[in-house]
Structure 1
Amino acid sequence: MKIVPLLALTALLAGCATVPDQPRFDHSLTARAQSDRVKYVILHYTVSDLPRSINTLAHGSTVSAHYLLTDTNPPFFYTLVDESRQSNHAGYSNWKIYNQLNAASIGIEIVNPGFKETPQGRVYAPFQPAQIDQLILLLKDIVKRHNIPMGNILGHNDIAPQRKQDPGPAFPWKRLADAGLIPWPEPSRVAARMAGYQEQLPEVIWFQRKLAEIGYAVPQTGELDQATRNVISVFQTKYRPALFDGTPDAETAAQLDVLTAPVPALPSAPAAPPEEN
Structure 2
Amino acid sequence: MTDNTPRFTEAPARKALGQHFLFDPDILRRTALAAGPVEDRTVIEVGPGPGGLTRALLNEGAAKLICVEADERFASALEAWPEAVNGRLCVYQRDARKINWASIIEESGGSTPVMIIANLPYNVGTPLLVDWLKTGDWRGEMALMFQKEVAERIVAGPGTPHYGRLAVLTHAVCEAHIALTLPPGAFRPPPKVESAVAVLTPLQPDKRFADLATLEKVSTAAFGQRRKMLRASLKALAKTRGIDATEWLEACNIDPTARAETLTQQEFRTLAETLARA
- Scaled to the shorter chain, the TM-score interval is under 0.3
Q: TM-score, normalised by structure 1?
A: 0.28
Q: TM-score, normalised by structure 2?
A: 0.28
- Structure number with bigger Rg: 1
Larger proportion of strand: 2
